[in-house]
């Protein structure tokens, strides 16, 4: 088999890239370890930056998003039960975010892939990348029947997430990683109940962080910060609702509609970046290159901005416009990645309870949130990061 671009992984990064390349007439094959229902079934965040919505429109993937997505012009912060609103649209010249679950995005990407005949090799085992530093790279795997498969290509793009094989294909002496592991996790539930507020609530409470989010007018997504050693079995629904309401405070907590949860999982929080994002004929995009903690919901949006830049670079190459785009991809992507890393780290730092926090740290945190409450400048900084920074170039720290 031969293709122009072999894409490893059919998550958001891989599937958005496959659609982008198709729109530019570039041939691609997506090689995915699992099956469609597994990839589509994973419950992840659900806030799309304006640019992500824009890309879905450009790619002709936005019909259901326009009907079912919930446009949010602002968000709420809460400090020890006192909530205040941030009018993101007013602060950013009209930018908004759209609440639409990653599961819905994946369904739209896969449905359109089927209609457009995008090729996906599902259930691919033992995926291995070869000759990445030459001019004729290839990828091998075993298909669902155990048969050995091989595709020759011009480029390989690793979109295989944090646990994939692509990042490890860079030589150890080329790769540098940067990491923060947070001493807590998020316990998240889904429930068929109306959301407590029209927009999200990010709550800093003495007992820990809580987040009130949603999937629709009748479906809520709630999270509470928990210890990493905790077990979902110790969190029956009543305990979860009691804790959530405490952290949202008496006023907001009293308005929460309780109901049976149908999803309950604990996720650890991590910041992680692997540099560079290109080596020879291999490019990395999305979680394969970087992880953000979920505070601010940047994960999928970052995958989208990576592949938007990479799609432009590859299109330039195939149009015969030279390889400046390809050569500049890593630095350009990392410049934006690090800003999203900074924002997600900061938003986590000011909203969560850290086990090592003393009275001084707590008061600094309270002062920072109170400053945001009272300062339009501080609110604008938060808002422009939350709705998504532009995809311009930038100075990368890669060489440092």
Does 212 help bind ligand APR (rule: CB under 6 A)? no
Annotated catalytic residue 202: yes
Residue showing the smallest CB distance to ligand PHB in the complex = 213
Active site residue 276: no
DSSP of 137-185: -EEEEE-TTS-EEEEE-SEEEE---TTSSSGGGS-TTT-EEEEEEEEEE
Binds 31, which of ligand PHB, ligand APR, none (CB < 5 to 8 A, cut-off by type)? ligand APR
Closest contact distance (angstroms) between CB of 102 and ligand APR is: 6
| Bond from prior residue into 186 cis (ω within 30 degrees of 0) | no
Q: Site for ligand APR (CB under 6 A): which residue of 35, 40, 43, 44?
A: 44
How is residue 78 written in tokens? 């809460």
Q: Is 250 a catalytic residue?
A: no
Q: Does 221 bind ligand PHB (CB under 6 A)?
A: yes
Which of these ranges, 156-164, 209-217, 224-232, 364-372, lies near ligand APR under the rule CB under 6 A? 156-164
Backbone torsions φ then ψ of 288, nearest 5 degrees: -60, -25
Which one, of 242, 274, 301, 42, lies nearest residue 176 by Cα? 274
Q: Is 165 in the site for ligand APR (CB under 6 A)?
A: yes
Measure the CA–CA gap between 198 and 255, rounded to whole angstroms: 12
Question: CA torsion sign, 279 to 280 to 286 to 287?
Answer: negative
Tell me if residue 194 is catalytic. Answer: no
Encoded one letter per residue, x for contact with ligand PHB by CB under 6 A and - for no contact, window 38-67 reads -------xxx--------------------
The rounded distance, in Å, linking the Cα atoms of 277 and 280 is 10
Is 188 near ligand APR (CB under 6 A)? no
Site map (CB under 6 A) of ligand APR, residues 105-124, x = contact: -------------------x
Cβ closest to ligand APR, residue 14 vs residue 276? 14
Least separation in angstroms between residue 204's CB and ligand APR is: 23
Given 92, 213, 216, 396, the residue binding ligand PHB (CB under 6 A): 213
Closest to 99 measured CA to CA, from 310, 357, 392, 301: 301
In the region spanning residues 278 to 337, those forming contacts with ligand PHB, defined by CB under 6 A, are 294-297
Phi, psi of 216 (to 5 degrees): -165, -175
Measured on CA atoms in the order 261, 70, 161, 111, is the torsion positive or negative?
positive
Considering Cα of 265, then 271, then 277, then 282, what sign does the dihedral take?
negative
Cβ contact 298:282 at 8 Å: no
d(CA 142, CA 124): 6
What residues contact residue 331 under an 8 Å CB cut-off, 6+ apart?
A: 396, 398
* Binds ligand APR by CB under 6 A, chosen from 160, 197, 199, 341: 160
Asked whether position 253 contacts ligand PHB by CB under 6 A, the answer is no
> Looking only at residues 143 through 202 of this chain, which bind ligand PHB when binding is defined by CB under 6 A?
200
Q: Which is nearer to ligand APR, 267 or 335 (CB)?
A: 267
Partner interacting with residue 208 (select from ligand APR, ligand PHB, none; CB below 5-8 Å by kind): none
Alpha carbon distance 193, 128 (integer Å): 45
Binding residues for ligand APR, per CB under 6 A? 8-14, 31-34, 39, 44, 124, 127, 159-161, 163-165, 286-288, 299-300, 303
Which active-site residues does the annotation give? 72, 202, 294, 298, 386
Binding residues for ligand PHB, per CB under 6 A? 45-47, 200, 211, 213, 221, 294-297
């Amino acid at each position: 088999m031969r293709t122009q671009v072999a894409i490893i992984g059919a998550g958001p990064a891989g599937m958005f890239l496959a659609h982008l390349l198709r729109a530019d007439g570039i041939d691609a094959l997506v090689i995915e370890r699992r099956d469609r229902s597994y990839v589509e079934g994973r419950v992840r965040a659900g806030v799309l930056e304006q640019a992500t919505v824009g890309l879905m429109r450009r790619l002709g993937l936005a019909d259901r998003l326009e009907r079912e997505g919930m446009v949010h012009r602002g968000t709420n912060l809460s400090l020890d039960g006192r909530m205040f609103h941030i009018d993101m649209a007013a602060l950013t010249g009209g930018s908004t975010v759209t609440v639409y679950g990653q599961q819905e995005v994946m369904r739209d990407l896969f449905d359109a892939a089927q209609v457009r005949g995008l090729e996906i090799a599902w259930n691919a085992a033992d995926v291995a990348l070869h000759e990445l530093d030459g001019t004729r790279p290839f990828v091998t795997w075993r298909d669902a029947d155990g048969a050995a498969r091989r595709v020759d290509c011009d480029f390989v793009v690793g979109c295989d997430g944090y646990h994939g094989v692509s990042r490890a294909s860079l030589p150890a002496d080329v790769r540098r990683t940067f990491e923060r592991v947070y001493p807590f996790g998020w316990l998240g539930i889904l429930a068929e109940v109306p959301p407590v507020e029209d927009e999200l609530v990010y709550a800093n409470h003495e007992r820990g962080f809580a987040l009130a989010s949603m999937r629709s007018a009748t479906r809520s997504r709630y999270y509470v910060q928990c210890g990493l050693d905790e077990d979902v079995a110790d969190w029956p629904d009543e305990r979860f609702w009691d804790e959530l309401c405490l952290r949202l405070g008496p006023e907001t907590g009293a308005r929460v509609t309780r109901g049976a949860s149908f999803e309950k999982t604990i996720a650890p929080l991590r910041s992680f970046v692997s540099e560079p994002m290109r080596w020879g004929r291999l490019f990395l995009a999305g979680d394969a290159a970087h992880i953000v903690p979920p505070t601010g919901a940047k994960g999928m949006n970052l995958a989208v901005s990576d592949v938007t830049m990479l799609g432009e670079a590859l299109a330039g190459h195939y149009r015969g416009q030279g390889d400046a785009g390809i050569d500049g991809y890593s630095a350009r992507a990392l410049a934006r990645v690090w800003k999203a890393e900074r924002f997600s780290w900061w938003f986590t730092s000011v909203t969560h309870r850290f086990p090592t926090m003393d009275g001084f740290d707590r008061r600094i945190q309270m002062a920072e949130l109170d400053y945001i409450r009272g300062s339009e400048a501080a609110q604008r900084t938060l808002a422009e990061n939350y709705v998504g920074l532009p995809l311009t170039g930038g100075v990368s720290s890669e060489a440092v």
